[in-house]
Amino acid sequence: MRNPTYFIFIILIVVFIFLSLPFILNILNFSIPVAHAAKFSPPIIKVSSCGTLDKPNAVYLLTNDIITNDTCFIVKNKKITLDLNKHSIINNPDIFIPFQYGVFASKTDNFIVKNGYIKNFGRGIYVEDSRYSTVSNVEISSSGDFGDHSSIFGIYLLNSPNAKIVNNSVKDSKHLTEHGGNLYAIYALNSPNSYIVGNSAINNTSSPIGGLGRGISVLSSNNSIIDNNKAISNTHSGIFLSDSSGVFVGNNVMNENDIGLELIASKNIIKNNVFNGNRIGVLFSYSSDNELADSFILNSKEYGIYIFTFSENNKIINSIIEKSGQNGIVISSPRSVFKNVSVKNTGYYDLNADTQAGNNNINQTSVVDSYFSSYSISEPGGTFLFKNSAFGEISFLEPISGFGTFNDDIIIKKNNASINSEFNQGVNKSAQITLTRLSIINKPTILRNGKRCDECALISYTQNKAIFKVSGEGSYSVA
């Protein structure tokens, strides 16, 4: 029989190996699940005054309101959380010094600021050169005379990709200087993949002379998301998008701004938004290959949509434009596409194609399954395609111009395409007509006003489609 000391020795070796196993595997770069392992809890540091926050992985918890006349919190390390704990940071209104920062964070990856109020700073929250930062549930307002030709910001991201700006409010801010004072509620510059969701930018006012007041501004920040925000009653644009592509602008409310959505950007998706009571609902300028879909543009004081200079290949899809004070849609650039768009109750024209503005080119405009009644197309006009997906299309080969009502002048129905120039000779132009849903057995005969059209040129046909050219006005069918 073995000595009991032997068994005790074996048991001690087994216990030692078991306790040392996680350390050994860690050295070997392995990991094993450990039941009931304690979760890491970052240290909580209570703060009651302004200062520098530099302890990584710490949560700084504000314990009271602060009034200051200087920059309040400077963040100087990574993975720091500033919990305002429903307290306020206020720039002293009695000793007002402009352009201080409520929170200044530089090179602070994974920085978080949340849950409080920031008032009267030239920069409420400023984050630069930082990745994966978060600003959430903070209410910001700033009012004061910050000086002529100056800019103030509620939340400012600079060179800070993958940021989350969520559920914040920047409202009732006023730049009280007289000339050139700009006010930006939420501003992201060179910050791709930003996630700007659930915020409010409301009633922000710039200088009365030459100032810009913008709700949400995203510049040079590709692949960002601007979703479910409210941008209301800002003195310039509700949302401003510039030099960015791959951005989703969706489910936002943009009401009572000068411009609801202002674009100087290409290749973006704009979907499920509401624009109500703006001077211009949506403005495209130097903006191409964008898609605006499933939106309501209502009660615009001047224009519902303005596709201005050098803005090609923009698509407007499944949208309603109603009660525009002047024109429902104004285009001054080529290759615009309108599909399933309804324009009603406008002051002047449902569609105003203005060749005297922009880049003087409105060619290859497409109107597909859309309801436009009144129109005005200035000289020298442009080429248009009108399509009824059920029955065919009329593609004008020469520029059309003039004014009238599309319901009377351009008609496409079963085995019929009509160009009626009785009230507008500007549509009496050559065109290529396609008729579909036909039943063709032999080579079709083209009819004009019920009679054989010898000058019409058959291009091709199949059992259910015929394509032919016509020289101008008339009611065309095939037999």
| pLDDT tens, residue by residue, 441-476 | 999 999 999 999 999 999 999 999 999 999 999 999
Pairing of strands 465-470, 431-436: antiparallel
What is the residue whose two structure tokens read 């291009």?
Answer: 459
Whether pLDDT at 231 is above 60: yes
CB atoms within 10 A of CB 13: 10
Separation of alpha carbons 114 and 59, rounded Å? 11
Q: Give residue 35's pLDDT.
A: 43
Least confident residue range of 38-42, 322-326, 393-397: 38-42
Cα distances (angstroms) measured from residue 432 to each of 76, 242, 371, 388, 426: 67, 38, 21, 14, 16
Q: What is the DSSP letter of 445?
A: P
90 Cβ contact partners less than 8 Å away, ≥ 6 residues apart: 65, 66, 67, 68, 118, 119, 120
Q: Contact 186/158 with Cβ under 8 angstroms?
A: no
Q: Where does the pLDDT of residue 224 fall: very low under 50, low under 70, confident under 90, or very high at 90 and above? A: very high
pLDDT at 16: 52
Question: Environment class of residue 51 by beta-carbon count within 10 Å: exposed (0-12), middle (13-18) or buried (19+)?
Answer: exposed
The one-letter code for the residue type at 316 is I
- Mean confidence (pLDDT) of the chain: 92
pLDDT(97) > 80: no
User: What percent of the chain lies above the pLDDT cut of 90?
Assistant: 82
Report long-range pairs for 437-440 (Cβ below 8 Å, ≥24 apart): 437/390, 437/391, 437/464, 438/463, 438/464, 438/465, 438/466, 438/478, 439/463, 439/464, 440/464, 440/465, 440/466, 440/478
Mean pLDDT computed over 360-388: 95
Look at residue 40 in the predicted model and tell me its pLDDT. Answer: 65
Is a pLDDT exceeding 90 seen at residue 99? no
Distance of CA 41 to the CA centre of its chain: 38
Across residues 198-217, what is the average pLDDT?
92
**pLDDT at residue 230 tops 60:** yes
- DSSP code at position 70: S
Q: Rounded to an integer, what distance in angstroms lies between the CA atom of residue 327 and that of residue 323?
A: 9
The answer, yes or no, to whether the previous bond of 43 is cis (omega within 30 of 0) is: no
C-alpha span between 186 and 259 (Å, rounded): 16
Amino acid 181: pLDDT: 86
Q: Quote the tokens at residue 85.
A: 């704990």
d(CA 155, CA 255): 21
The radius of gyration of the chain from alpha carbons, rounded to an integer in Å, stands at: 32
Q: What is the mean pLDDT of residues 315-328?
A: 98
Would you place residue 359 in the very low, low, confident or very high pLDDT band (cuts 50, 70, 90)?
Answer: low
The pLDDT value recorded for residue 25 is 41
**Residue 13 pLDDT:** 59
Compute the distance between CA of residue 379 and CA of residue 235 in angstroms, rounded to an integer: 34
Residue 85 has pLDDT above 60, yes or no: yes
Write down the pLDDT at residue 358: 62
Q: Which has the minimum average pLDDT: 10-24, 152-166, 210-224, 334-348?
A: 10-24
Q: Where are the alpha helices (DSSP H) in 361-448?
A: 406-409
Query: Can you tell me the distance from the alpha carbon of 58 to that of 63, in angstroms, rounded to the nearest whole number?
Result: 15
**Structure tokens that stand for 183 in this block:** 């006010």
**What is the per-residue pLDDT for 24?**
45
Q: Residue 174 has what pLDDT? A: 86
Whether the pLDDT of residue 12 is over 70: the answer is no
Q: What is the value of pTM for the model shown?
A: 0.89
Quick check: 259 pLDDT over 90?
A: yes
Percent of the chain with pLDDT over 70: 90
Q: Which residue shows structure tokens 């029955």?
A: 391
Residue 219 has pLDDT above 50, yes or no: yes
